[in-house]
Amino acid sequence: MLVKMIHEDCSQDLSQNKDLPLNSYIVAYMVEDQMKYDIVQSDSQVHIFDLYYDKYKNVRGMKWTSGKVSPRVWNYQPPESKKRKR
């Protein structure tokens, strides 16, 4: 996984959610003189910075969210069980 988008163009308040994964960040960037925020998940801040710099050229900041959930179990959906035919 390089960078996974969780929330795009959102409020800073969403970064206080404890149900976010541990490896999630809130990224601040400027678009046409307007500050925008995204919450993304990645194993490396370098990958996040590179993506946003290439796309917007105006990264203002990046910091950890308040997420407490392990990335392995965050947003996990168990596979559907197959019912046996009798």
Predicted confidence at residue 43, as pLDDT, reads: 87
- Rounded Cα gap, residues 30 and 39, in angstroms: 15
Q: 3-state DSSP call for residue 40?
A: strand
Residue 78 lies in a domain: no
Predicted confidence at residue 83, as pLDDT, reads: 73
Residue 51 lies in a domain: yes
- Rounded Cα gap, residues 15 and 84, in angstroms: 43
Residue 72 lies in a domain: no
DSSP letter at 82?
Answer: P
Predicted confidence at residue 57, as pLDDT, reads: 87
- Domain count within the chain: 1
Residue 35 lies in a domain: yes
The answer to whether the beta carbons of residues 34 and 67 sit under 8 Å apart is no
Q: Which domain holds residue 53?
A: 3-64
Predicted confidence at residue 62, as pLDDT, reads: 93
Residue 43 lies in a domain: yes
Predicted confidence at residue 82, as pLDDT, reads: 75
> Could you state, in chain order, the average pLDDT of each consecutive group of 10 residues for the chain (86 residues)?
87 90 92 92 91 90 90 75 72
Predicted confidence at residue 74, as pLDDT, reads: 77
